[in-house]
Amino acid sequence: MRITIPQPQLLKTLQVVEHAVNDRSTLPILSNVLLESSGNELTLTATDLDVGIQCRFPLAQAMEKGAVALPARKLTTIIRELPDDTVTLEAKKNHTATVNCGTSSFRIPGLPAEDFPVLPSSDSTETVSVSQGVLKSLISLTAHAMSIEETRFILNGALLATQKDMVVMVATDGRRLAVAQAPATKVGKQPLNAVLPAKTIRELGRLLAEADTEDVIISPLKDNQLTFRFGLVTVVTRLIEGQFPQYEKVIPSSSKIVVTCDRQRLLEAVRRTNLMTTATSQAVVFELEPNRLVVSKESPELGSAREELDVRYNGDRLTIAFNPEFWLDVLKVLQSTEVSIELTGPDRTAVIREHGFTFLVLPMKGA
């Protein structure tokens, strides 16, 4: 195999797939990236057997066909350090590759392409289509609520489902819940109901183009897998097995007791107050009275913080404690100028409802 390709384009393609590499695997082949030349197209593939990423790149002219598996991190590091010039990569029969660019030359030992796992392909007609920008937005609005506790494996990811003509994404860690939905371009006859691992969610969030209206084609695969195809990229993922919680049952009815304030000002107030929290004393206190919100924290070790905000609120005086990180996570991803929060009691769930988005967070028992 022999290919020539501009350094920036090869580096960009490597950076698309390298996040799927597993350097700690007991299988040496999984720390490699597979490079395949079909003549007029270069395909790069990486996988850890749970998530696989493949990226195709059209070549300016027909090249020698072939394939080789090369150490992903080392190859990416080398290409990154090369000058902005044409790279010539040639793989020998002994699976060793040479990389030449300008006056630089490298020799990299590789592994047989035949040892690399083959990513499954889908021929299913039960596909779901949604624009890249929409799916990226759904991920942004919900990913922060995924659990990181290994004991609750089903929550270590996000639910992706279809409801009528809508695509819905849901994540929860048991203390907060984020639900986002948006219209799909196309849904299949059979409803989609899949729990995606956190790594898959992160990789899709990284790879999807925010302003791109081109559709992502989502197709089911055998053996509890799902594939996402968009542009020149394909992502294949195993799904988390198990029953995702029935989240609809915990969403309360709308409340008339609402506090409305500037989103950015609340974000900054919570961020500053959070400076006085510790690992053993995380809660910050929200004190509400008509047209005023005080966010505060008292810490015997660090001292205290107090932030006062003008708000629209006509309910009774209310004091409620929250984990500030949960508020920071959601306030950062919202785009609205103002945020309205339903607060009905010191031990009741706080709720944000916006168009296509619902967020619930449980209070903490003490400050």
Q: How far apart are the first and last CA of the chain?
A: 64
214 pLDDT tier (thresholds 50, 70, 90): confident
- What pLDDT was estimated at residue 366? 57
Residues of the chain above pLDDT 70, percent: 99
How many residues does this entry show for the chain? 367
Give residues with Cβ within 8 angstroms of 100, minimum separation 6. 87, 88, 89, 90, 106
- Domains annotated on the chain, with CATH: 2-115 (3.10.150.10), 128-249 (3.10.150.10), 252-361 (3.10.150.10)
For residues 341, 364, 271 and 350, what is the CA-based torsion angle, rounded to 10 degrees?
Answer: -10
Residue 184 has phi, psi (to 5 degrees) of -90, 155
Asked if residues 179 and 251 have their Cβ atoms less than 8 Å apart, the reply is yes
Residue 211 has pLDDT above 80, yes or no: no
- Largest Cα separation within the chain, whole Å, is 78
Residues 6+ apart with CB under 8 A from 156: 146, 147, 148, 149, 150, 197, 198, 240
Under a CB-based contact definition with an 8 Å cutoff, are residues 182 and 143 in contact? no
118: which residues sit within 8 A by CB, 6+ positions away? none
Residue 188 is predicted with a pLDDT of: 86
pLDDT tens-digit map of 272-319: 999 999 988 899 999 999 999 999 999 888 899 999 999 999 889 999
Burial status of residue 50 (CB atoms within 10 A of its CB: 0-12, 13-18, 19 or more): middle
d(Cα 93, Cα 87) in Å, to the nearest integer?
Answer: 20
Inform me whether the pLDDT recorded for 105 exceeds 80: yes
310, 323 contact by CB (below 8 A):
no
> Rg of the Cα trace of the chain?
25
- pLDDT, position 324: 97
Q: What is the pLDDT confidence band of residue 24, given thresholds at 50, 70 and 90?
A: confident
Please, which residues bridge with residue 289 across strands? 292
Rounded Cα distance between 269 and 239, Å, is 39
With 60 as the cut, is the pLDDT of residue 60 above it? yes
Average pLDDT over residues 252-267: 95
